[in-house]
Structures are given as C-alpha cells and as structure tokens.
Amino acid sequence: MSVDVTMMLRILLATALGAVIGYQRERAGKAVGLRTHMLICLGSALFTVVSIYGFNNAPGIAAGVVTGVGFLGAGAILSNSEGIVQGLTTAASIWTTAAIGLAAGTGFYLVSVVAALLALLVLMIHPRIAR
C-alpha cells in the first residue's frame, strides 16, 4: 500500500472515530459536538501523519497537540454564578478525542477504535449511575 493511501486511511479513520464521539456529545446537548470532535480527531491525526512522514517522527509535534488541545478543553470548562464547575466531561472528551487521533495517525488502528468505543461507553453512562 502506498504511503499516500496509508496516510489517507489514518486520517479518515480518525475523522470517523471523532464523529462517533462527537455524535454522542451532540445528542446529549453539549456545546462541543459532532463537528468539533471530528475536527479535533482529524487535526490530531494529520499532525501525527505529517510528523511521521514529513519530519521523520518529530516527537515535539505530538507534545504540541496535547498542549494545544489542553487549551481547547480549558475553554469548555465554566464556573457558573453559584460556583458550580461545568464542562469537565466535555473537556475530557476533547482531550481523549485528540489522543484517539494521535493513535489513528500513528497507525494504531485497533487501539484507536477500542479507545473510541471505550470513550463512547464512558460518555453514555447515565449521570445518575455515575453519582
């Protein structure tokens, strides 16, 4: 299989996995939903693919993704007037989605699929059960 096809499959898988997680967040009525999760996963995978094939696996790029996505997640966390913090699960889903994109971009197909399914399972746990 050519390098171009391999790269395309990796970013397509990442985008699809981001869509699965984003769809759940969208259905749950969260502000960060389908398109955002798809773009985060796609972007993470693309940075990874470019790192591997364009920069001979520069480890700083993966670290940069983790840092950059941390800022996105921080923007999802809010404190209301009563001092109640909201958005932590959304921030965690953003962070996890980026990690799934990194895994897919690296070529860890099964790991990225299993991680996405586990993330989906965790997000589907009803809040009452979690308490």
Confidence grade of residue 39 (pLDDT, cut at 50, 70, 90): very high
DSSP state string for 5-52: HHHHHHHHHHHHHHHHHHHHHHHTT-SS-HHHHHHHHHHHHHHHHHHH
| Token pair 């970013």: residue | 11
Q: What is the pLDDT of residue 112?
A: 98
How does pLDDT run across 106-128, given as a tens digit for each residue?
999 999 999 999 999 999 987 76
Q: Is the Cβ–Cβ distance between 26 and 33 less than 8 Å?
A: yes
Domain residues for the domain of 103 are 3-130
Task: Indicate if the pLDDT at residue 84 is higher than 90.
Answer: no
How does pLDDT run across 54-79, given as a tens digit for each residue?
888 777 788 888 888 888 888 888 77
pTM: 0.89
Q: What is the pLDDT of residue 43?
A: 95
Q: Tell me how many domains the chain contains.
A: 1
